[in-house]
């Protein structure tokens, strides 16, 4: 009998102790994704000090597969050092690739440092270091919201159940948003001298990059640290393949340094560098024009919708632009250095509403002789022709654009800024346009008058 009892005990050891998995009510991955990381602390030292890319994975302990992860663009970018408590992270989870698991009964949270193969790719054997992990958990443990990391007296993960988004807006409403202000504390990683900075808006629930702004929207001029870039009025454009009728949930604003591809293509975390990201924010809060901060105070920014700006400016009758003329123009560094008589530049000046991106008026007659660099062309008296056809009068900021047409068309047809060469541009109010000579960032000069 004693031998039979010992054999029975050995069998228990072999099959495992504790609760039978069949007794544990499973939790779906979709439900797990409704929990965000609010606070994180780990003690283990990093291998790559100063360049850490921290991720948190949820591992199904039955299959030992990583099923959910939270990476740089999901909020963990703020986490950089051990023995430091990072609060108010709002880092969300997305599903990893390479598995068909939809629910788990027992799981654990694993904090890792990765130098290759980033989230949403599952954990592997190489290119990572484990910084801490929890005990094996069940869905019942989620109710505590505080998860201790093993072998670390102070290490922990605090979770927070995400509330439903209060927004009723749709993706199409993002077209009403404008970037008004941005200031960078740290702009580049030191790897590039001319950063290609873009802003992307991510829907957290679906992990979809909804909209972005890049070089063609004006971000090519954002290239210095500790500079207040104000009165920008840059607009978002939908990323490729996004359904404009989708409802907006919680959003995350992500600043990206692009290495491969450009907006409107979504960024790729494997090729592009996530500079920083915001906490979760809803559309209704975003459009109010509050000054917001990114993680680690990397940047402050201000985004608002058109109604915010309408309170700052008055309407401008389109006929007012029909009285304007180009008095003088001095192009500098905007035309080819080859003999211009063989290139036949087609220079025009367009006044574009910064909100709708529709041309208000343009001038071409009288500018046909503008064909040399660094020469002041005076006494032009080139009249503007009004092209505005919108029901509502324009107001506020105006993009003053000197353009070399390359689309086979001419004013009064609006310029296609994706094909024509933008020689110089500057955003001003109507009053500022008439205060004297306009000096552009590339030192070109333009004088408007009546």
**Cα–Cα distance measured from residue 402 to residue 393, given in angstroms and rounded to the nearest whole number:** 23
Judged by average pLDDT, the poorest of 2-6, 36-40, 341-345, 365-369 is 2-6
Query: Which pLDDT belongs to residue 330?
Result: 93
* Domains, the chain: 23-161 (2.60.40), 171-310 (2.60.40), 319-449 (2.60.40)
Mean pLDDT throughout 186-202? Answer: 73
Mean pLDDT throughout 292-319? Answer: 81
Query: Which pLDDT belongs to residue 88?
Result: 86
**Cα–Cα distance measured from residue 79 to residue 376, given in angstroms and rounded to the nearest whole number:** 54
- pTM score above 0.85: no
Split at pLDDT 50, 70, 90, the class of 297 is: low
Segment 323-363, tens digit of pLDDT: 999 999 998 765 555 454 445 678 999 999 887 778 999 99
List b or e across 9-32, with b for residues whose CB sees 16 or more CB atoms inside 10 angstroms.
eeeeeeeeeeeeeeeeeebebeeb
Nearest to 182 by CA among 237, 238, 239, 221: 221
Residues 6+ apart with CB under 8 A from 246: 170, 171, 203, 206, 208, 210
Query: Which pLDDT belongs to residue 50?
Result: 54
Query: Which pLDDT belongs to residue 386?
Result: 96
Query: Which pLDDT belongs to residue 372?
Result: 81
Token pair in block for residue 339: 């003999």
Q: How far is CA 223 from the centre of its chain?
A: 16
At residue 353, φ and ψ (nearest 5 deg) are -65, 125
Mean pLDDT throughout 421-439? Answer: 87
Between 137 and 23, the higher pLDDT residue: 137
Asked if the model's pLDDT at residue 16 lies above 50, the reply is no
Asked if the model's pLDDT at residue 281 lies above 90, the reply is yes
Nearest to 58 by CA among 123, 126, 129, 141: 123
Between 444 and 127, the higher pLDDT residue: 444
Looking at the DSSP bridge assignments, the partners of residue 229 are: 182
Asked if the model's pLDDT at residue 186 lies above 90, the reply is no
CB atoms within 10 A of CB 6: 10
């Amino acid at each position: 009998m004693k031998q039979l009892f010992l054999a029975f005990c050995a069998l228990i050891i072999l099959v495992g102790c504790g609760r039978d998995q069949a007794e544990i009510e499973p939790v779906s991955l979709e439900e797990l994704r409704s929990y965000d990381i609010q606070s994180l602390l780990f003690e283990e030292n990093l291998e790559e000090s100063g360049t850490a890319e921290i991720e948190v994975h949820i591992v199904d302990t039955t299959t030992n597969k990583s099923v959910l992860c939270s990476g740089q663009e999901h909020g963990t970018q703020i986490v950089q050092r051990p023995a430091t408590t990072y609060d108010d992270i709002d880092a969300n989870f997305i599903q990893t690739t390479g598995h068909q698991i939809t629910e788990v009964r027992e799981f654990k949270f694993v904090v890792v440092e990765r130098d290759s193969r980033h989230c949403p790719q599952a954990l592997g054997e190489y290119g990572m270091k484990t910084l801490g992990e929890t005990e094996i958990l069940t869905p019942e443990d989620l109710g505590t919201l505080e998860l201790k990391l093993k072998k670390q007296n102070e290490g922990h993960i605090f979770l927070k159940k995400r509330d439903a988004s209060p927004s009723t807006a749709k993706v199409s409403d993002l077209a009403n948003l404008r970037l008004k202000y941005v200031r960078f504390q740290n702009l580049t990683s030191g790897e590039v001298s001319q950063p290609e900075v873009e802003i992307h808006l991510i829907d957290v629930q679906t992990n979809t990059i909804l909209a972005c702004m890049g070089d063609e929207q004006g971000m090519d001029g954002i290239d210095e640290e500790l500079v207040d870039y104000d009165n920008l009025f840059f607009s978002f454009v939908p990323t490729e393949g996004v359904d404009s009728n989708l409802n907006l949930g919680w959003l995350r604003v992500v600043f990206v340094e692009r290495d491969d591809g450009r907006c409107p293509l979504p960024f790729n975390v494997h090729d592009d560098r996530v500079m920083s990201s915001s906490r979760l924010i809803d559309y209704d809060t975003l459009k109010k024009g509050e000054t917001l901060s990114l993680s680690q105070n990397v940047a402050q920014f201000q985004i608002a919708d058109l109604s915010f700006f309408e309170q700052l400016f008055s309407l401008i009758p389109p006929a007012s632009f029909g009285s304007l003329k180009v008095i003088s123009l001095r192009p500098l560094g905007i035309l080819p250095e080859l003999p211009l008589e063989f290139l036949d530049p087609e220079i025009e000046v367009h006044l574009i509403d910064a909100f709708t991106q529709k041309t208000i008026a343009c001038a071409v007659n009288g500018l046909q002789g503008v064909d040399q660099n660094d020469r002041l062309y005076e006494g032009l008296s080139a009249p503007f022709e009004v092209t505005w056809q919108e029901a509502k009068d324009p107001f506020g900021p105006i993009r003053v654009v000197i353009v070399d047409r390359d689309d086979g068309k001419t004013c009064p047809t609006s310029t296609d800024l994706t094909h024509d060469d933008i020689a110089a541009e500057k955003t001003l109010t109507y009053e500022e346009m008439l205060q004297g000579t306009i000096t552009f960032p590339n030192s070109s000069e333009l004088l408007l008058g009546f």
